Structure 1
């Protein structure tokens, strides 16, 4: 996603949380990705970093994107946070969707994992199941800010 594709409200929200046009974590993003890759290998369920997820991590990694009206809800863009067994659940969701998924962060209220697929779609792995967050980064941020309901990921299964 190019910064000129951002709507003014999303641009303001991102800038208020530490983002800037052209932001790139560079080598630090690769370190974060490799932490997650090693952890999934430790769980004996390897995850492959897809380019769209790596791009999201490079652009937004290590930011805490607070919801403007829900106090305790933020998207914490840290792909290294997870829990034992999450790699298997991510792979199961990937299988249903027919695409690879890779973690890009988590949501702070219930610690569900934020995932991006090969086509830049965002999904949420919550303890109650998988949910669709948006068709691309801009859509996901917009849906987060406006509080649109998150359809079941199963609606997107192949």
Structure 2
């Protein structure tokens, strides 16, 4: 599921949000991915559901992962959240990274789209630009709950 060990702080926070080890929403994840794929195609920018993103959706899909100290901020783990034209922006970011990206959710306070690339790295597509969130889900969650810096996505372009 992840490429790094789950820090105790992240594990405890996830469990408080309804996650448990071995969680897999199965067919529901497949349905969410299908909706997102159809939406991107309708926008004229087909996306590909990368394995790393599908694993994230299966493990965390449907959860609202609330920030422990900012009540208006949460990672809403629903890949169908987005806006008109977002598929083109996702494709543009993916091109810069040289890696395929797929949405796994959105950030609730400003509706930035949470994206995972084919290597498992997390990014945010925000109205102010793109940002790096973490090397994998555990890193992204740890950075989220500790308010760590989020470098510009351009720092990761090839």
- Bin the TM-score by the shorter chain: over 0.9
1:2-17 matched pairs, under 5 angstroms: 5-17=5-17
Is it true that 1:146 corresponds to 2:131 in the alignment?
A: no
Residue-by-residue CA offset, 1:103-144 (whole Å, 9 max, x unaligned) = 000000100000000000000000011000001111101100
CA distance 1:4–1:87, shift in 2 (3 Å): closer
Of structures 1 and 2, the one with the larger relative CO (CA 8 A, separation 6+) is 2
Cα deviation for residue 83 of structure 1 reads 0.6
Cα distance between partner residues in 2 of 1:106 and 1:3: 22
SS of aligned partner of 1:5: coil
Matches within 5 A, 1:63-82: 63-82=63-82
**Which stretches of structure 1, 4 residues or more, deviate above 4 A after TM superposition?**
none
Gaps of 5+ in 1: none
TM-score using structure 2 length: 0.97
For these two proteins, the number of residue pairs brought into alignment is 158
Gaps of 5+ in 2: none
TM-score (ref. length: structure 1)? 0.97
Alpha-carbon contact 1:130-1:153 (below 8 Å) kept: yes
Question: How far apart, CA to CA, are the structure 1 residues paired with 2:62 and 2:74?
Answer: 12
Structure 1 position 106 matched with structure 2 position 106: yes
